[in-house]
Structure 1
Amino acid sequence: MKKTLDPKNRWRSKTVSFRMSPEEAEQLDSLAQLSGMTKQAYIINRVLKKDVVVNGNPRVYKALRNQFQVNYEELKRLEKISDDNTELLELILYSSTILKGLKEGVND
């Protein structure tokens, strides 16, 4: 089996695991998808306080489209926004930030 190396040519031989609620796991999946990174790369960058750089590609645009549709359906369902909706609000803000950054990148 071929070893998979990180960008600095190091072999990732350590396993790190932790528990999350289903809601937290769903939010993590969405954030990683929106970034266009693998979940592993996204978690490593966030934990080590490195920038998460989103490069526009068809997978990112599809994830953004799908996330905006989910957000829209959820907002239609809600009667009011409350503190219970922080995950939704964070996803909307994150998605909007990515879209704004991609738009600015096209105009450069």
Structure 2
Amino acid sequence: MSQKNKDDHNRLRSRTIAFRMSPEEEAELNDRVKLLGYRTKQDYLIYAVLHNEVNAVGNALMLVQFRKDLREILTELKRLNSVSEMDEELMTPVRTMLEILQAFQEKPKKQGKQPVMQETQYSKMMHLQKLERLMAERKRQYE
């Protein structure tokens, strides 16, 4: 029986993600994987998707997902008894949301098009940065 495929946190990678590419795109992908020294395309693609620049496209569904994720984060924060119980898994969605917000802030408005996100929506969600700062301060206090 083959060895189970696990990530750096020893979690089983049991989901398959698939997409289509042209032969030219596949050749470029193969070159990048080799040039950057990754063992597999999977390793390269996971790293590229999770750790590279975010190009966000704002819409109503995105805002709904933001609210849902924020509720889950708040629930988890309320469950914690001390900062030492907080792990990297909790910070990941916060960092992702911050990257998305920063992508909106950095993008100049395109000619003739509506802004991707209304300024009021953006300012309402900026409390994420405050949340991250607060969590970092609390963690430093308990160290």
Larger Rg, first or second structure (1 or 2): 2
Structure showing greater relative contact order (alpha-carbon pairs closer than 8 Å, 6 or more residues apart) = 1
- Return the TM-score normalized by structure 1: 0.47
Q: TM-score scaled to structure 2, two decimals?
A: 0.38
